[in-house]
Structure 1
């Protein structure tokens, strides 16, 4: 197996750090946001050093427990030994009673959470950077302190904006995850993109998989499916059908598919598993958020409207 690789993007140690090992590809940023503080460069260097050190063994830890991590989660089942693996299991267990899900559904988010935790652990209380993030292929663990905030932009694979929103230190969200048809993972649904905000990246990662799966039109002739193991031979989904293509759909069909995903996202919000979600299919979308935060009733959202709607997030 190849060794972990660390490099500074653009060769600048005061910029972003890139860590890569096998399928794990992280981009990490650290700063104090708009509040200038002495020692920012030193704090960034310390956080980056901690990230590099913790990253050295993460992939090996996960590989050593892959059979268990590919097993459906359940209450009372075996508990993995690794720290990241335990994060994965903790993230998926709240969903396991009602849904098929394995710890692998939270792997990217759990890795991001673990690296961020290692970075913050090297600082004394009150001396942490005001902002830090670990982006693992779109599953992002976030640290915010003081008056710091992040502005997050969602986009389709072709770069077209799907909207943006702000994360603030005063809010509950510390994790973001994105999933959908054509992404890095297999999907049972037809969503082009679903983004979920939650308390941590592992929780968002687990939830976004299930919300994306729910955006679907079972039995529709325009939707092509195959067994997961025929697409990826070692998939934890086994013989379950995943979407391999989606042809033209009417506006009514798009709305129906999105409404199914919206219902699942709103249920997860109601029981406290996620904070909010954005669902997109064929240039249309819906936003799920707590009832108290909704400026108006959820309705179909076009690409042109998305920036306005998400600026209210």
Structure 2
């Protein structure tokens, strides 16, 4: 099936092709931006498939495609013999489509949301207010991002997400200077929130769950039973240590980690400190 485009309410554009679904918004020359987004999106899946065998290998050789190079650059700081560029494919796709829009016309602000991995564009006095909501939909707080902030990417990962996870975090949300960087960091932090060998955590080889997983036979989490509060604290502390290291290395600007009713935050406004459940970011204005 070819790439599909549908205009949604609220002056948004929905693009879909195979496993990729984007929601796009723009203020400025919207029609021109949307046409540029679709033109670039039509080539995304074919471009990624061309180098897919390399992208499923641990970070090493530099790929050739524009999106693949974004993935490689964002994954490289996390190279450990296991991590592949696929760790940030969603963020890199969002970033590339947004770049096509910005190159095509002048926009006050714009976003491309790829399943919760969001690339942002802001100029002048423009801002985005990002709402964090629990799985049941109630608000857990907001953070406002302005054009003067370095943040241009937001990503969420975790054991309850759409991808396989090595860790047990319900969710981890990361703010960083690009969507691909945020995506890679969120995945790694989701992995870091963990309790190795804990009897309440079930794991299975990734390729038993998905034949084509780039994780191969690496054990991934399949179930997390209710944990003692002290165990939750221990797991979150492991994630917080990893998040602080990433922040010290200037890989991320902020993060929020969530597990079974407890949370840890760093680099985020005080009004987000009360977050208690796994988040799902969305742009409210």
Structure 1 pair 156/241, CA: closer, same or farther in 2 (3 Å)?
farther
1:68-92 CA distance string (max 9 Å, x none): 0000003xx2x22211111111110
The equivalent residue for 1:56 is 42
Q: Distance in 2 between matches of 1:153 and 1:162?
A: 8
8 Å Cα contact 1:106/1:202 also seen in 2: yes
Q: Distance in 1 between matches of 2:276 and 2:252?
A: 24
Structure 1 pair 283/50, CA: closer, same or farther in 2 (3 Å)?
same
Within 5 Å, give how 1:281-292 maps onto structure 2.
Answer: 281-289=259-267
Q: Give the secondary structure class of the aligned counterpart of 2:70.
A: helix
The equivalent residue for 2:5 is 6
Q: Distance in 2 between matches of 1:269 and 1:56?
A: 35
TM-score, scaled to structure 2: 0.93
Match of 1:72 among 42, 58, 68: 58
8 Å Cα contact 2:129/2:145 also seen in 1: yes
Superposition deviation, residue 205 in structure 1: 0.6
Q: Distance in 1 between matches of 2:136 and 2:85?
A: 30
1:118-166 CA distance string (max 9 Å, x none): 000012xxxx221100000000000011111111112233324343211
Higher mean displacement: 249-258 or 155-164: 155-164
Q: Are 2:73 and 1:90 aligned?
A: yes
1:247-295 CA distance string (max 9 Å, x none): 0111111111111111101100001111110001112111022xxx786
The equivalent residue for 2:142 is 164
Q: Give the secondary structure class of the aligned counterpart of 2:104.
A: coil
Structure 2 regions of 5+ residues with no counterpart? 280-285
Match of 2:16 among 20, 23, 29: 20
Match of 1:141 among 92, 115, 119: 119
8 Å Cα contact 1:161/1:303 also seen in 2: no
8 Å Cα contact 2:143/2:269 also seen in 1: no
The equivalent residue for 1:274 is 252
Q: Which has the higher contact order (CA 8 A, sep 6+)?
A: 2
1:55-79 CA distance string (max 9 Å, x none): 11100111111100000003xx2x2
Q: Distance in 1 between matches of 2:228 and 2:74?
A: 36
The equivalent residue for 1:216 is 194
Q: Are 2:93 and 1:111 aligned?
A: yes
Superposition deviation, residue 47 in structure 1: 0.5
TM-score, scaled to structure 1: 0.85
Cα RMSD, aligned residues only:
2.0
Q: Give the secondary structure class of the aligned counterpart of 2:75.
A: helix
Q: Distance in 1 between matches of 2:3 and 2:73?
A: 26
Aligned positions, number: 278
Q: Give the secondary structure class of the aligned counterpart of 1:188.
A: coil
Q: Distance in 2 between matches of 1:55 and 1:182?
A: 27
Match of 1:226 among 204, 213, 227: 204
Q: Distance in 1 between matches of 2:101 and 2:7?
A: 16
